[in-house]
Amino acid sequence: MYFWDHFGEANSHNLGAYVGGYATYTLMGGAKAYANDERINNTGAVGNKRPGRYIPVNQGFFVIAVNDTLTGSTPDPIILNYGGDIVFKNSQRVFKKEIEVDGLGTPISVFMKGPKSKKGVAETDSIINDVRPKFWLQLNSPNGYHRQLLIGVDKNATNNFDLGYDAQIADIGAEDMYWIVDGSKFVIQAVNNFDDNQELPIGLKISEEGRVSIKIETLENIDATVQIFLKDNLTGIEHQINDKAFEINLPAGEYNNRFSVTFKTIKIVEDEVAEEIIAEVIEEVIEETTIKGVQVFMNNKHSELTIRKDSETNIESVELYNYLGQIMARWNNDFTGNEISLPVNVVAGVYLVQIITTTGKTSKKIIID
């Protein structure tokens, strides 16, 4: 379902005062509206409301019950050929105040009209007592455009197009971000797991070269053991984004095959066992050593790892470990030249860089702030 959310000038019929976009809702949850419509004021401004489970009185909305235009998708032909009726019954009506919230403190009835929310209305969205893992991604583009995407886990969903759970994007902006499902562009996607082998493609549209930032705006019911990464398929580097935004300079263009979201689950062990594991890791892996001809230091100003080497040293790979011995990033580039700069996107702390050369390994502790 798509809800027009107007957050421009109130009570105006002038086209110049129209600033808004389509907030979206499925069985997975809701996503905010963004002003990306080129026919009016595509300012990139964002609404402050997400639709809830109940539709208030007088709230207009669109319903897309079937979409037969998905590129590469093969929905059930019975659904496509015959469809069905949307039936509204009096038994579906429920008395819910707009300021009423569910057991998680989430508003369950959100009226989209008007520039401001009613008092006490939060920005998150759930069905009643929803415990499904989900999170919202936020794009900040070079020209100041924004987009919010929702992804969540439901046992009834797949990685393909699922009726009722996935929502195509209603308004593509000059610069935008979207999930890629069956070759089409989506604002909400549901899958059945956030496992280590899960990989979810996202697309980017950039109109002018500049700095792109992608971050997690909100986490909901995500276990602390689940690490979320933004993977750059061009370099093969995975950047953890649980606590820090992924940033990159991109030329203008569409990037539908370069980036994806991946996951990694950390195993939690008892304290005594953990101490033994860490001790072994420190002894076997995180032992600071040096190789003649290789220097390593962290350039925190530019968030880059800098490696200097002589012409006789050939580097095969570079790995970044945290203090638990967990690998945070791996580079397998063609390391040519005497000075190498590698982008690093992790939370502040002490890390160990391990460089594997054709003659051995060298390790260096660094501090990232």
What's the pLDDT tens digit per position in 189-230? 999 999 999 999 999 999 999 999 999 988 888 887 888 999
pLDDT of residue 120: 35
User: Where do the domains of the chain lie, and which CATH numbers do they carry?
Assistant: 2-265 (no CATH), 285-368 (2.60.40.3080)
pLDDT of residue 158: 93
User: What confidence category does residue 135 fall into, taking pLDDT thresholds of 50, 70 and 90?
Assistant: very high
Average pLDDT, integer, range 107-119: 51
Confidence of residue 144 (pLDDT cuts 50, 70, 90): confident
pLDDT at 185 over 80: yes
Average model confidence (pLDDT) for the chain? 77
What's the angle, vertex CA 187, arms to CA 112 and CA 54, rounded to 5?
35
Highest mean pLDDT of the ranges 256-260, 337-341, 355-359? 256-260
Q: How far apart are CA 40 and CA 21, in angstroms?
A: 10
pLDDT value, residue 246: 93
Would you state the pLDDT for residue 45? 66
Lowest mean pLDDT segment, chosen from 33-42, 142-151, 177-186, 189-198: 33-42
Q: What is the pLDDT of residues 71-82, one digit of tens each?
A: 544 444 434 444
Q: What percent of the chain has pLDDT over 90?
A: 24
Q: Of the given ranges (123-132, 142-151, 269-278), which has the lowest mean pLDDT?
A: 269-278
Read off the pLDDT of each residue in 261-284 and give the average, rounded to a whole number.
Answer: 59
More confident residue, 72 or 330: 330
Q: Which of 108-117, 228-237, 256-265 has the lowest mean pLDDT?
A: 108-117
